[in-house]
Amino acid sequence: MDHSDKPIAVIGAGSTGSSVAYHLAKMGRKVLLVDMGQPASGTTSRSTALVRTHYSNEIVARMAVYSLGVLRNFGKIGQSGFVNSGMVFLGDHSLKDGMERISSSLSKLGVKTESLDPIAAAERFPDLDFSGIDFVDFEPESGYADSVGVATSYASKARQLGAEEIFGALVRRLELDAAGRMHSIEFVDGSSIHCSKAVLCTNVWTNSLLGNTKHDASLPMWASAHPVAVLRRPKGYEGVRVIVADLENKTYYKPEGKSLFLVGSLDPKIDQKKIDPENCPSDVSFEFLSFYAESASRRIPAMKDGVLHSSYIGMYDMTPDQHPIVDELSEMGLENVYCCVGLSGHGFKLCPALGLMVAEIAAGSTNHTFDPSYFALSRFTTGRLLQSKYVNIGTIA
């Protein structure tokens, strides 16, 4: 195993990079964590941070189960702010196949899930209106966490374990040696630092860094803009309430804190719309706000008396099969350069498992807690995609 005296540079200190840095530092590796902003200042700060295990593919479901366990018991690392609200998934008959198969494979992994018919669901969740719904899956152990708290906790624990950090510094490009191996990272001010390896956790900014490094280097990923409405809940519908993934309306509803309520989209059309990450729109349109408010009050009648608190747009780093790319980029001629990007709008909850997986491959370990081959870049050319059991639902891949 290679124990170079030069650090492994982890570029990007969101929930992904901070977790990678923590896991590498815990393995005794020399680590340099770098960000152009502060830890969690990228898309992590915009996350609605749902923590669920409902996933189509077994490998990702196993990673979600592991990660849920870590986020529920985060005390040795820091504060995750996990709230065990439970989460329900509502579908009509067209989603029957997907929901049944997911629920049965989750049960085999030991996840508590309950399949309810709409009548039983209405008794269990009297706040919700189940019109148009044929199938309900309930995950009692899911919830939500504090994405910024998790990322900053991982970053500070990595520092305690010896990682060095440079924040407020944009990495302009990676410098390679004559054989195409990672040599150093070059900052925008022209200075550079030697590194044995680099791990890109740079989300929607990845292709810009790769393009500056090698003119033809780019990954099959793009940025998309996701509007979120924040509503204030009326009296009587406050406190911890179940999260609703309304697959029929392609929206999700997340009661947060004492009195807020977040609405976001599960519409794959939004995922497909490519935007320039440097010019992400900042205002949520009136059409979206009305659609969100109407959908929320149809599904949760109490929300007819909710009022708009604020709104914002966050970016997803999408890939064609809605799953991350975790790999060494040697097939692009970049040796000792690794990436964990393309998280496609569901990477927060997976950050404990992704951080461990990436640290293991970057450290050269041959023991893999989670098999990284599922996330290899080559799947986009070999066609071994991580297909969702859902058709036409975004994010819940």
> What is the smallest separation between the CB atom of 53 and ligand FAD, expressed in angstroms?
11
Q: Is 23 in the site for ligand FAD (CB under 6 A)?
A: no
CA 325 from chain centre, in angstroms, equals 12
Q: Is 314 in the site for ligand FAD (CB under 6 A)?
A: yes
> What is the smallest separation between the CB atom of 170 and ligand FAD, expressed in angstroms?
5
Q: Is 202 in the site for ligand FAD (CB under 6 A)?
A: yes
Q: Is 17 in the site for ligand FAD (CB under 6 A)?
A: yes
Q: Is 228 in the site for ligand FAD (CB under 6 A)?
A: yes
Are the CB atoms for 110 and 138 separated by under 8 Å? no
Closest of 83, 63, 82, 40 to residue 314, by C-alpha: 40
**Cα–Cα separations (whole angstroms), residue 10 to 25, 202, 355:** 11, 9, 11
Q: Is 13 in the site for ligand FAD (CB under 6 A)?
A: yes
Q: Site for ligand FAD (CB under 6 A): which residue of 77, 148, 209, 219?
A: 209
Q: Is 245 in the site for ligand FAD (CB under 6 A)?
A: no
The span from the CA of 328 to the CA of 319, in Å, is: 17
> What is the smallest separation between the CB atom of 122 and ligand FAD, expressed in angstroms?
25
One-character DSSP codes across 273-285: --B-GGG---S--
DSSP state of 234: P
The span from the CA of 144 to the CA of 316, in Å, is: 18
One-character DSSP codes across 334-354: -BTEEEEE--TT--STTHHHH
Amino acid in the structure at residue 207:
N
Q: Is 85 in the site for ligand FAD (CB under 6 A)?
A: no
**Cα–Cα separations (whole angstroms), residue 137 to 86, 89, 185, 262:** 11, 5, 47, 21
Q: Site for ligand FAD (CB under 6 A): which residue of 89, 125, 205, 375?
A: 205
The span from the CA of 60 to the CA of 82, in Å, is: 20
Cβ-based nearer residue to ligand FAD, 86 or 345: 345
Q: Site for ligand FAD (CB under 6 A): which residue of 116, 163, 198, 201?
A: 201
The span from the CA of 288 to the CA of 269, in Å, is: 13
> What is the smallest separation between the CB atom of 233 and ligand FAD, expressed in angstroms?
19
144 to 173, contacts with ligand FAD by CB under 6 A?
Answer: 147, 170-171
Window of 34-42, 86-94, 127-135, 365-373 that interacts with ligand FAD by CB under 6 A:
34-42
Q: Site for ligand FAD (CB under 6 A): which residue of 21, 29, 33, 48?
A: 48
> What is the smallest separation between the CB atom of 203 and ligand FAD, expressed in angstroms?
3
The residue ranges that bind ligand FAD (CB under 6 A) are 11-17, 34-37, 41-44, 46-50, 147, 170-171, 201-203, 205, 209, 226, 228, 264, 314-316, 343, 345-349
